[in-house]
Amino acid sequence: MTQIIEALFLGLIEGLTEFLPVSSTGHLLLVGHFLGFESTGKTFEVLIQLGAILAILTVYFNRLWTIAKALPHDPDARRFVIGVLIAFLPAALIGAVLHGFIKEVLFNPWIVCMTLIAGGFVLLLVDGLPLKEEHRDATRFPLSMYLKIGFIQCMAMVPGVSRSGATIVGAMLLGASKRAAAEFSFFLAMPTMGGAFAYDLLKNYDILSANDVAIIAAGFVSAFLSALVVVKVLLDYVSRHGYVPFALWRIVVGAAGLAGLIVFG
């Protein structure tokens, strides 16, 4: 029962942080470390992301369905889908090659704390730059821009960097508005996180027990419900306030994590 409660709590953290530029995986690794939570094959942290993916699909269902229906006759719809796939490709290839190294070496709370702090300062810097907002529609970025964002997203394979943070910063530096950058991070999350879920499940399904499945299911439901809230409110919030609060949060959490590791190990 204790593990289920921990899974629900960690799922809540996953859903609240997945689409914020604060690193959901970093938060899960840190909180799990101090709780003493250890998942089989470190699969929990990856597989519960499916809950967050379904939250996006729920909120964006009508828009996605409109794009899907337009594919046979609308070149703009086809171009956007191609753009998302182009942005997804670098992470798919590099993630498959480095999967073992990422989990065995980089899933480390010390690395998480340092990247949280460093990423916070980067986010502060970028948010304060006088950037030109040349692209305000996430479905109409140039194809070359989609590819560049895709390569920048690969930095998030280091836990603590943040997938959404990397894509948002990359898009803003390439001329996207804050809102469009956040929205494209939602769209790119679907194939990226879906691919990570499928690949991790394929690699580890044979070592998962019925108890593991129950724990993952609890985290999945919790992540879905909390992510629904974030997806619905994030775009309006960043359009008005920017990313400074999230940058400061990263720095505070990273510093607190380092202090905890030094004191408690």
Write out the chain's pLDDT in tens, 265 residues: 788 999 999 999 999 999 999 999 899 999 999 999 888 878 898 889 889 999 999 999 999 999 999 999 999 999 999 999 999 999 999 988 888 888 888 889 999 999 999 999 999 999 999 998 999 999 999 999 999 999 999 999 999 999 999 999 999 999 999 999 999 999 999 998 888 888 888 888 888 889 999 999 999 999 999 999 999 899 889 888 899 999 999 999 999 999 999 998 7
Beta carbons of 29 and 45 less than 8 angstroms apart: yes
* Strand, helix or coil for residue 108: coil
Residue indicated by tokens 């689409």: 19
Can you give the pTM of this predicted structure? 0.89
Please report, in angstroms and rounded to a whole number, the separation of the first and last CA atoms in the chain: 26
Can you state the percent helix, strand and coil of the chain, rounding each to 5? 85, 0, 15
Element (DSSP H or E) covering residue 240: helix 210-241
Tell me which residue has tokens 């970093």.
Answer: 26
Beta bridge partners of 176: 135
The amino acid at 167: T
Sign of torsion, CA 192 86 165 137?
Answer: negative
